[in-house]
Amino acid sequence: MYLPEIHDERETLCSSLAAQLDGVRGTVHGLSDEQARLRPLRSALSLSGILKHVTYAMLQSLVGAGLRKAEEADQDFYASFEPTEAETLEALLQRFDEVREEYLEMCRGGELDAVLPVGPMPWYGLDEPQPAHLRYLYVHHIEEFARHAGHADIIREQIDGADAASLMATIEGRPANQFVTPWEPSN
């Protein structure tokens, strides 16, 4: 959770991105690989698939910035939601953490007024990349990562009833208060 503080624009954007990424990662805390692959809703999404897709989105940005080779993110968009058998929860988390660190480092160093190509986004009728400022990309990623963190919250609640606030309290080592009790596995 990115709590209120007085920060400049860059730190506010980057801290907001980091908070959304923490939320996505936090949804798998304490789950087995099998549980993380569950699809307890009518949706085709699983927690493992969301982790893989968010990693894919971060990789796309690193490639766009010239910090990674294109083949690392050269994957079918829809396949980015489907972990393979070899992509265990442990492997997905390791990859997510590696890419997240590099992605946030990139975010903290970019010039907010830099113009870069964003897209394509054929689902919005944009078949070619469009020019935009880097700050647009950050805000867009906050929107997308928040959307996926919300999907992940709902899926996790369906698996074992854990909610985002209790999971993050556990991960961050915060004690119980009148509003939130840290999550503990039920046996």
For residues 79 and 98, the model is more confident at 98
pLDDT in the model for residue 74: 59
Question: Do residues 28 and 14 touch, judged by C-beta distance below 8 A?
Answer: no
Question: Do residues 35 and 159 touch, judged by C-beta distance below 8 A?
Answer: yes
Note the pTM of the prediction, 2 decimals: 0.90
Over 90: is that where the pLDDT of 53 sits?
A: yes
pLDDT in the model for residue 65: 83
The one-letter amino acid code at 180 reads V
Mean per-residue pLDDT over the chain, rounded: 92
Question: Do residues 8 and 134 touch, judged by C-beta distance below 8 A?
Answer: no
Over 80: is that where the pLDDT of 187 sits?
A: no
pLDDT tens-digit readout, 69-82: 887 555 678 889 99
For residues 4 and 49, the model is more confident at 49
Question: Do residues 29 and 153 touch, judged by C-beta distance below 8 A?
Answer: no
Give 176's Cβ-side CA count (13 Å radius): 5
Q: How many residues does the chain have?
A: 187
Q: Which residues are CB-neighbours of 57 under 8 A, at least 6 positions away?
A: 80, 141, 144, 145
pLDDT in the model for residue 35: 96
For the chain, what percent of residues have pLDDT higher than 90? 71
pLDDT in the model for residue 3: 81
pLDDT winner (highest mean) among 57-66, 83-92, 109-118? 83-92
* CA 37, 40, 44, 46 torsion-angle sign: negative
pLDDT tens-digit readout, 114-165: 888 887 888 889 888 888 898 998 999 999 999 999 999 999 999 999 999 9
Q: Residue 186 — pLDDT band, cuts 50, 70, 90?
A: confident
CA distances from 52 to 2, 41, 169, 187 (A): 23, 18, 24, 28
Question: Do residues 75 and 86 touch, judged by C-beta distance below 8 A?
Answer: no
Over 70: is that where the pLDDT of 27 sits?
A: yes
- Give one DSSP letter per residue of 112-165, joined into a string: TT-EEEE--BGGGTB-S-EEEEHHHHHHHHHHHHHHHHHHHHHHHHHHH---HH
DSSP-derived letter for residue 36 is: H
